[in-house]
Structure 1
Amino acid sequence: MKHIIFQGGLKLFFWLGKILKKQHLQKFSILLGSLLYYIPWSRKHIAFENLKIAFQGQYSEKELKKILKKFIQEVILTALEVAFIVKKNEKLASWAKAEELEVLDEALKQNKGVIALSGHIGNIPVMLAWLAEKGYPVAVLFKEGKYLPKGFLYNLISSYKIYPIPMHSDREVPKEIIKALNKNMIVFILADQARPGVYAKFFGKYVQCQKGAFVIALRKNSPIIPIFIVREKEEHTIKIYREEKIFQSLEPSQNKSFLSSDEYVVRLIENYNFILESLIRKYPEQYYWFHRRFKKSLD
């Protein structure tokens, strides 16, 4: 039943993307998002529980419900934008701007590839497609959605001349990432999902974090660049941070065992988490709260 509903919803969004004009997308997302907000469903409950954990003591329950409602509207708007871009074969130049794009240019000059650390905030497809349209060699690690048609994301990503790295197995993925780095590509990894690895601090909780991207970058000596996208008014802003943000507060060490230890990786992850958390606090409705981010978290 979930598969049928999801498939129907996907067809509906692509149909809307075909018939709606760009200026109507936000109004429609507010209407549909408001409707979905008042319908009880499990993912909405998960999102609200995540918001309560993240912003405990900062917002009242009434304020959190307002954020939840805006978040659902934002998810709808993001989906409509993607459908609109795909169906209208829209060029992305006017959809976004990038801050400190020269950071990427400098990193690519090292010819070691780039690990682009991102997260589930903002319209990620717009960010990837915008950079690819600008001529940047973009690759992305992704996992096909459970209820999506077979190969849906792979085909969509490939159509924008983005190198797809499907998450088939923990053994094959590192090989594909290294292959892309060897081609001097910018490998985007959304590193904010709960996956077995190490525990690192995020919103005051110790949560499960993947360490693979950091380990590969350190072994390959590839630049680690945090890159995110957020909606600011009617335009998307791609925020690019210098690598120093990941290594801040870490003194150079001659101790090779420490530099290859989980403790060192955790400190890098927490610097990444701090950047992402700062953005989420500023744009709370734009983070993807449906994930069970605090599953198995520790105080």
Structure 2
Amino acid sequence: MAVIALYYVLKALSKFFCLLPEKAAYIIGDAIGSFTWLLVPQKRKKMALNNARHGLNITNAEALTIVKKSWTRFGPMIVEVMRFPIMCNNMNKYIHIVGRENLDAAVKLGRGGVIAAAHSDNWELLGGVLAQNGYKLVGVAQEQSNRGADRFINEYRAMIGMYVMYKYDVRSMFKMIADGWLIGLIMDQDAAEDGIVMPFLGRDASCAHGAATIARRNNAPIIPIFITKGPGRTHNIIIDKAVFVGKTRDKHGDIRKATAILTKKIEEHIKKYPSEWFWLHDRWKSVERHRATKTYT
């Protein structure tokens, strides 16, 4: 019952934010971000500060500014998701696409593709904008523990044009790439024992290799795409040139090399837009916790 109730609460909040003038909605969003920052546990804030300080080689004061902005941006981000029923009518009003020719070149190969993205700025907008601009896109999602929240977010992703599947449905991913679809993967979180350990922002981290693994099997291009804050309440989508996975006898080496290239691109993006990345995720925890007892690939 509580699961169903949450879904309808979120729908009601969405209707509320859609009825508000845009300026008023974002004022509330900014307030939500600032208020919830006060509720973040000190232990997590300390972890995020250490990550930013070491990863960016900056002072504690500089790290605090970046980490706080990294969190408070979630207020406006939530408002944008809640306003999808309005925004879906004209997503390009809010987005400027840079490097579209790189995505077009990859699509013209006719082999589908993998989009490698990160938890930067409002990544929920990314797939919808691409879908509404004519690209066949599948958003690969993490199933939420609360079914009401899961139903809501996937319904709203579909509303802005995305086809959504859960990340454990790998067989369907291979099939859809073969049919010419683009598979969108967020690949900047700790991959735990399933990842490949390599340097990331100055320390070893477990990096997701799903993009390279899928692309190698399907001979498909990987297109790094990031979203970043633009003027006012707009955003920029930055599309990089495609990365191709080698297909030698050393399968593991091919996947590792491509994953290293993608990890480096994510790292470079974070350094350029540090306050837009999610520092409160403990990106290095599994390597630090298990290095002495676990074997990573």
The TM-score range, normalised by the shorter chain, is 0.7 to 0.9
CA contact (8 A) 1:85 1:91 kept: no
User: Partners in 1 of 2:100 and 2:61 — Cα distance?
Assistant: 39
Among 260, 264, 267, the residue aligned to 1:277: 267
Residues 1:20 and 2:11 are matched in the alignment: no
**Aligned-pair distance for 1:236?**
0.6
Cα distance, 1:54–1:148 mapped onto 2, change above 3 Å? farther
Cα distance, 1:270–1:144 mapped onto 2, change above 3 Å? same
Paired AA for residue 215 in structure 1:
T
Q: How does 1:1-299 map to 2 (within 5 A)?
A: 10=10, 13-39=13-39, 41-42=40-41, 45-46=43-44, 48-56=46-54, 58-86=57-85, 89-147=88-146, 149=148, 150-167=150-167, 169=168, 173-195=169-191, 196-234=194-232, 235-244=234-243, 256-258=248-250, 260-261=251-252, 263-298=253-288
CA contact (8 A) 1:117 1:227 kept: yes
| Residue deviations 1:91-134 (CA, integer Å, cap 9, x gap) | 20111011111111111111110111111111122121111111
**Aligned-pair distance for 1:226?**
0.4
Under a length normalisation based on structure 2, what TM-score does the superposition of the two structures give? 0.84
User: Partners in 1 of 2:61 and 2:152 — Cα distance?
Assistant: 38
**Aligned-pair distance for 1:30?**
2.7
CA contact (8 A) 2:229 2:236 kept: yes
CA contact (8 A) 1:154 1:166 kept: no
**Aligned-pair distance for 1:174?**
2.0
User: Partners in 1 of 2:273 and 2:29 — Cα distance?
Assistant: 18
**Any unmatched runs of 5+ in structure 2?**
292-297
User: Partners in 2 of 1:225 and 1:36 — Cα distance?
Assistant: 34
SS in structure 1 of the partner of residue 143 of structure 2: coil
Paired AA for residue 190 in structure 1:
I
| Residue deviations 1:246-276 (CA, integer Å, cap 9, x gap) | 77xxxx89xx333x12x33223222212211
User: Partners in 2 of 1:9 and 1:66 — Cα distance?
Assistant: 33
Percent identity, aligned pairs only, is: 22
User: Partners in 2 of 1:185 and 1:198 — Cα distance?
Assistant: 26
Cα distance, 1:51–1:166 mapped onto 2, change above 3 Å? same
CA contact (8 A) 2:121 2:277 kept: yes
CA contact (8 A) 1:108 1:114 kept: yes
CA contact (8 A) 1:71 1:285 kept: yes
| Residue deviations 1:187-234 (CA, integer Å, cap 9, x gap) | 111111222221121111111122122112012110111011011222
The number of aligned residues is: 283
| Residue deviations 1:169-189 (CA, integer Å, cap 9, x gap) | 3xxx22111111022111111
Cα distance, 1:184–1:8 mapped onto 2, change above 3 Å? closer
Once the two structures are overlaid, the 10-residue window that deviates more, 90-99 or 52-61, is 52-61
User: Partners in 1 of 2:237 and 2:141 — Cα distance?
Assistant: 19
Once the two structures are overlaid, the 10-residue window that deviates more, 142-151 or 190-199, is 142-151
User: Partners in 2 of 1:291 and 1:228 — Cα distance?
Assistant: 18
Under a length normalisation based on structure 1, what TM-score does the superposition of the two structures give? 0.83
RMSD: 2.8
Paired AA for residue 144 in structure 1:
E
User: Partners in 2 of 1:76 and 1:5 — Cα distance?
Assistant: 22
